[in-house]
Chain A
């Protein structure tokens, strides 16, 4: 079945450590996104990528880094520079046509990151 997979589902990080969250999709989507969600709040865009080897900062990129070496994969690294990393992280993907003919984004089931 086609879909978007995030792993792990739960992740614990010690202060000062970098951690990497995985996001893989087999939907042949060009665009991929990372969002952060805090309890009782909306989604905030961290980074997005429209094509391989290209990505753009979202609204809250500080303390995060990404790579897009393969179309299927868009890993997110939460660095020690992120002062409050405990949150629910959501990855999404969508088709990109290069025209206003975009389609909906499909979401993974999320990774809950906790700093201990």
Chain B
């Protein structure tokens, strides 16, 4: 869901463990999903994306799972490292229409603070 003045949930893990960050999205018509990583004082950086015609996609040390039935998205980070400590956001692309033209609107979820302990 989208953040409206709420404080972010946190996840603490030990270095070397696997991390799972979850995100519930709101719109069943969303066709494209993205995970971003944001380090303190910086803009979000792209990690991995997935389209609605897929249920799993793997990158380097990261896997995104999409469950459209329950509108749930997850990011799995393997062998988590201290450098992975950051805020992680999911984003959904909602297709909208105006004046006969379709366009996408990118909406962010609440975000999760990941802390990795050495």
Verify if B26 is at the interface (C-beta below 8 Å from A).
no
A25 within 8 A of B: no
State in angstroms the CA–CA spacing of A102 and B105 once bound together.
Answer: 10
Q: Total contacts A to B, CB within 8 angstroms?
A: 87
Question: Which DSSP category, helix, strand, loop or mixed, fits chain B's interface?
Answer: strand
* Binding stretch for chain B, among A12-20, A34-42, A70-78: A34-42
Kindly state the interface size class of chain A when it binds its partner: 20 to 34
Count contacts on B: residues with CB < 8 A to the other chain: 35
Interface on A for B, CB 8 Å cutoff?
Answer: 6, 31, 33, 35, 38, 40-45, 48, 50, 56, 59, 90, 92, 94, 96, 98-100, 102-110, 112
Q: Which residues of B contact A (CB under 8 A)?
A: 2-8, 31-32, 34, 36, 41-46, 49, 51, 89, 91, 93, 95, 98, 101-111
